[in-house]
Chains A and B, each alone.
Chain A
Amino acid sequence: MITILGVPGPLLFGQLLLGLINGAFYAMLSLGLSVIFGLLNIINFAHGALFMMGAFVAWMLLNYLGLGYWWALVLSPLIVGIFGLILERTLIKHLYKLDHLYGLLLTFGLALVIEGLFRNKYGSSGMPYQIPPELEGATNLGFMFLPNYRGWVVFAALIACLGTWLLIEKTKLGALLRAATENAPLVQAFGVNVPRLVTLTYAGGVALAAFAGVLAAPIYSVNPNMGSNFINTVFAVVVIGGMGSIMGSIVTGFSLGVIEGLTKVFYPQASETVIFVVMAIVLLARPAGLFGRTA
């Protein structure tokens, strides 16, 4: 058996893959958080709960309507995105002129309410969601076996992240979004309906979280806490990458997943804390984050 730095190859690669998978979720979630924070100035603490809703809606579509994984991948982001749109129009929009703290309190409260409702109905033990038959099995890569579904998750997350990056950095809509993030009143004075842009941005970020939720459903059990397990780390990722930076969120998300995976191999005791250690070091050296613009 191959060993690398005294560690058996399969163990190392296995943890690397696990890290990459976690990193994929960190990247998709922090991307949405970052875009929402940039334009709305709201730290969306409900993001984890909406990720969880994405997984639950996939489960409900299957068990109540018989619609499988591929349908869920399209419908669940749409449904949760519309839910986000309603949240923004009815609740969040009243907070833009107030201190950050109010947005934080509202979205944190929303997260507790949403999670509580699901826990009340479905309990907290978690429900299985099958891997779609097309993606069952594993592929031999020579140095390890790659479960097909996990490979698909990393691939789909990369596509979703790059798609979002292209949309924001390379299109007219993205230029409006970047401009409104810098100076919303002026963009509105050019004749752009900024409140509508804000609503769509929130719904888009939420839909991305729900998409991640559907991808996560077959890997983690579908349970009301799956979002809150992730969200602390995701906030650390956003802070490390730099608030409001798109590429920063993607790169930081994936690399912190990998760092976490490697720590599990070489020094397992630190695997839960390593991300926060990185966060502390980054904040000491670069308070605006690795990719953040210092204003």
Chain B
Amino acid sequence: MLEVKNLHAWYGESHILHGVDFEVHEGEVVTLIGRNGAGKTTTLKAIMGLVPRREGSIRFQSHELVGLRPDEIARLGIAFCPEERGIFASLSVSENLLLPPVIAQGGLDIPTIYTLFPNLKERAKSQGTKLSGGEQQMLAIARILRTGARLLLLDEPTEGLAPVIVQQIKRTIQEIKERGFTVLLVEQNFRFASGVADRHYVMENGRIIDMIPNAMIAANMQKLHEYLGV
């Protein structure tokens, strides 16, 4: 579904990605793991066209994404949930939820979203940023489920959240997977990642250095500890 080959990206003078290669198959949940500054967030942003300069190849279904604008990329069926969540302060919860345009059929309808995230219904009229951190994260995920995008890029959805909320997000991602969405997830929380993902790509210094199927996690624990420095 997504095939990234020899991807380079720059912010101004600094060369962040040095030839990233990986692929994501339809229906998979795949994580990018690695230390801070390894280039995980930049990889997601480069797929979305949100970096100033990128080279190499990103193929999504049959389309080449390098050279397209972010809105053109989104309309092919990719949705992005940023690390800082990107909830708009000048919009209400329901305005935030309804903001991303529907780009294809097959997204979740509002009643389904409210069943998955009942808090959002109760607080529909509140200002978006008045929600708790966990609720804001739910809102940030919920609004991209509506659009009909089939590939979701989630940047650290569990960052800074209480364990009970992390559990709830885990269930949400499992639910999303059952519904046939494909997810590319950036995660620092390895326990969380191993509970939801099919495969893990390990990043270091702007490259992919290893790929570990989730089933092989136990056998690779030692190696992972070295990669992540924990």
Interface residues of A (CB under 8 A from B): 172, 175-176, 178-179, 181-183, 185-194, 293
Contact = CB atoms under 8 A, between A and B. Distances in A.
Given A188-B69, A189-B50, A190-B101, A179 B74 contact: no
Interface stretch (B24-32, B88-96, B186-194): B88-96
A181 to B, nearest CB: 7
Contacts of B70: 185, 188-189
Contacts of B86: 183, 186
B39 interface: no
18 contacts: A172-B98, A178-B91, A179-B90, A179-B99, A182-B88, A183-B88, A185-B50, A185-B70, A188-B69, A188-B70, A188-B71, A189-B71, A189-B74, A190-B79, A190-B144, A191-B71, A191-B75, A191-B101
A187 B99 contact: yes
How many chain B residues sit at the interface, stated as a range, is: 20 to 34
A179 B79 CA distance: 17
Given A175-B95, A175-B99, A186-B82, A191 B88 contact: no
Contacts, number: 59
A189 B49 contact: yes
Contacts of A192: 71, 100-101
B147 interface: yes
A189 B88 contact: no
Contacts of B69: 188
A17 to B, nearest CB: 35
Given A191-B71, A192-B71, 13 more contacts: A176-B99, A178-B90, A179-B91, A182-B90, A183-B86, A183-B88, A186-B86, A187-B99, A188-B74, A189-B50, A190-B71, A191-B75, A192-B101
B48 interface: yes
B218 to A, nearest CB: 37
B74 A190 contact: yes
A25 B79 CA distance: 43
Contacts of A186: 80, 82, 86
Interface in B48-72: 48-50, 69-71
B101 A181 contact: no
Interface in B164-178: none
B161 interface: no
Contacts of A193: 71
User: Chain A interface mostly helix, strand, loop or mixed?
Assistant: helix
B109 to A, nearest CB: 17
B103 interface: yes
A191 B95 contact: no
Nearest to A169: B90
A116 B27 CA distance: 63
A214 to B, nearest CB: 31
Nearest to A170: B95
Contacts of A179: 88, 90-91, 99
Contacts of B73: 189
B104 to A, nearest CB: 10
A267 to B, nearest CB: 39
Contacts of A175: 91, 95, 98-99
A191 B100 contact: yes
Nearest to A97: B52
Task: Please name the 6 residue pairs, one residue from A and one from B, whose CB atoms are nearest each other, closest first.
Answer: A191-B74, A190-B100, A178-B90, A188-B70, A189-B70, A186-B86
A282 B95 CA distance: 32
Nearest to A177: B90
Contacts of B79: 190
A193 B50 CA distance: 14
A79 to B, nearest CB: 29
A288 to B, nearest CB: 14
A190 B99 CA distance: 8
